[in-house]
Each structure stands twice: as structure tokens, then as C-alpha cells.
Chain A
Amino acid sequence: MKISIILAICYLVLAPFIGGLLEGIDRKLSARMQRRVGPPVLQPFYDVIKLFNKENQVVYKSQSWLIVTYFVLMVLTGVMFFAGFDLLMCFFVMSTSATFLYFAACVTGSPYSTIGGHRELLQMTAYEPAVLLACVGFYLATGSFDVITIATANTSAIKYLPGFFIAFVFILTIKMRKSPFDTSASHHPHQELVKGLTTEFSGKNLALFQVSEWYENVFLLGVVGLFIINSKPVSIIVTLVVVFLTFFLEVLIDNSNGRMKWQQMLKITWIVTIVTAGVNTVVLMFIN
């Protein structure tokens, strides 16, 4: 119990640094893949510091409040996860926070950010089944929804859940806003939506959004780790290696794929989810 509280506090304090560093590594790796020098690894921190020093333009009164709520709920998701709470509850809070982000984008009335917001909802429709199935999978494998019970099981969950793992890594591309699925935020250099979801965020609001994304990424990679970790101490190293490899895979996918339309995204994600996680569920039920 004690260790889970320490982990939760560590997450609260360290996640923005780890998340920012990961983004820096991401940008550096991307640049190297494109044969560029790329920005320094600490670039994301420079960006956020600058944004905090800029004028905060608020388009609509409630916008800032909505972004703060998004931020708080996102942090809460991760804290609950690392404190070893119920996994279902974590994902539930995460979806709620995503809804607040949607509101923050749409309340501005700007066509770009509204389309971005709508696409965010579509993305949620695409990834939610895989997320919920992952929870079910963990339950079938370990008999509990509690993160702490899953993490301290005798064998790694991935032994029973390879299909769920594939489905989860697949939807991670959506959650981490990577090409070919970054339809809602349209990262540079493809700017058909200007900045989509974040078009009307500037200064502090954008900085807060950025930091929330870092918290979110660390949480998501934590879930990836949950598939691997077990009660043996050596599994921690394996977990870290797998998490980093997954992260590298996402960067590779991001750099080697063009953007897809949302229809394709929805179709492909659901097919992958049904085929991998679905088959896995059926097999698990037979075994049990």
C-alpha cells in the first residue's frame, strides 16, 4: 500500500518531466529519421516556458476553466492508476477528461477547432472499445480490476493477453496523436485544420494542454507496462524496455505514415480490435 502512494506522488511530480523528455526524444528521433539535426531534447520545456510567458488570449470565458478541468482530471487518472486503484475507474476518468477537452475546443465556435473537436469524439469512438476490452482482459487474466493486484500477479498479464496488447498498442497511436491517426490536432507540418483542437488555445492555455498531454502519455505507457510487469523484481527492467520499444514504434509509425481519413481510422481500428482482442477474449473464456 505504502509503495503505491510513493508511486502516485512520483507520478504527480515526475510525469511532466518524463513526458516532456519523451516528447523531446520523439522530436529528435523524428528529425534523425528525416536526416535533420533536430531541436535539442529539452525543446518541449523551452516551448512550454515560453508559452507561460506569453499573453493568454481567451476566446470564450469558460475556455480556460474547461482546460484546467481537463488537466486536473488527466492528472487524477494517472495518480489513481499509479496508486493502484481500479483500472476501469482510471479509464472512466480519462474519458471524462477527454470530454472536457472537446468542450474547450468547441465552446470557442471557431470552425477549425470545432471540426477538431468532432474528430476528437470520433477518435474516442475508435479507441474506446479496445480500452474497455483491455480492462475486461485484465480481469479475465487476473480476476481483478485493481491495478495493484494485476501488477503484483505471479505471471505477466501479456502471457494471457497478447491480442489485447496488440489492440492497445494500436490505439496508442490515436491516443498519442501520431500519424496516421492524428486527425483532430493535425500536427505540423500537415496543417489542413490549422491546429485543429488547439487552434484557439494560446499562451497559458496551450501550455497547460501540453503538460496534460505529457501526463497522459506517461499514464498510457504505464498501462503498456501493466501488461508486462509481475511480482518478480526483474520484470521491472523488462517492463521499461518494452515501454521504450513501444514508444519507439510509435515514433516510427508516425514518421512512416501519411494521414488517414477518419472513416478509414474507424474501420481499421475496430477491425484490429475485434480480430485481436475479440479472439483473445474467446480463447480466454474457453480456458477459464
Chain B
Amino acid sequence: MSVTSATPVSTPSLPTVPLRELAPWAVLFGLLAALVVFFVSADQGAISIPSGTAIHEWVHDGRHLLGYPCH
């Protein structure tokens, strides 16, 4: 390509994170994130863990305004 980069030649090409190293982080944090999003977006609506309405009511406005079905 005729496009010349402004970065100096000594700069190493962009380092990549090995996918093997990334996988455990992705699985663990992915599950944790899904759990957190579940409690804010859907708990004590369609599914209740634990039963009751306290969590639903506490995050209620966020659930509506972030676009999740509330009730």
C-alpha cells in the first residue's frame, strides 16, 4: 500500500493477547456479567431468584430506562 504510517519503524506491530490466555477470563467474567445484567434487567419479573419484589423495585427505574421489559 502507498499509505505510509507516521509511527516510527522501531515500534513493534500491535501485540495480540493469546486467545488461550483470554479464554478463562472471558468465560468467568462473561458469566459474572450475565448474572449482573440479569438481576438488573429481568429478576423478579419473568423469573424470580429469590422470590419477592425488593430487587425488582430497587433497580426498577434503571430497568425501564435501559430498555428492558419491566412488567
A and B are interacting partners: no
